[in-house]
Amino acid sequence: MKFIYDSKFKKNLDKFPESIQAKVDKQLGFLVIDIRHPSLRAKKYSESEDTWQARIDDNVRFYFKIEGDTYVLINIKNHPK
């Protein structure tokens, strides 16, 4: 599997501190290995839009689609509690 970074994802990622950006790299590594990795807690976010959500940490989530052998990273944002 490979990644494509949507411009919205890149723009929003740049708003986060380096500590979160490092966690993103770690979590994306887990995603490549196994979408079911426990720390990701990946789940279908929107069935109609075929969008998935996964965890960076307790406060940050990223959203992606799966297109063939590619993860299309579409957004990253703080998770409301």
| 63 DSSP β-pair partners | 53, 75
| 25-81 per-position pLDDT tens digit | 999 999 999 999 999 999 999 999 999 999 999 999 999 999 999 999 999 999 877
Structure tokens at 14: 């740049």
2-78: in CATH 3.40.50.10090: no
Please tell me the pTM assigned to this model.
0.92
**d(C-alpha 26, C-alpha 61), whole Å:** 13
Retrieve residue 10's tokens.
């890149």
Strand partners, 65: 72
Return d(Cα 6, Cα 36) in angstroms, integer: 23
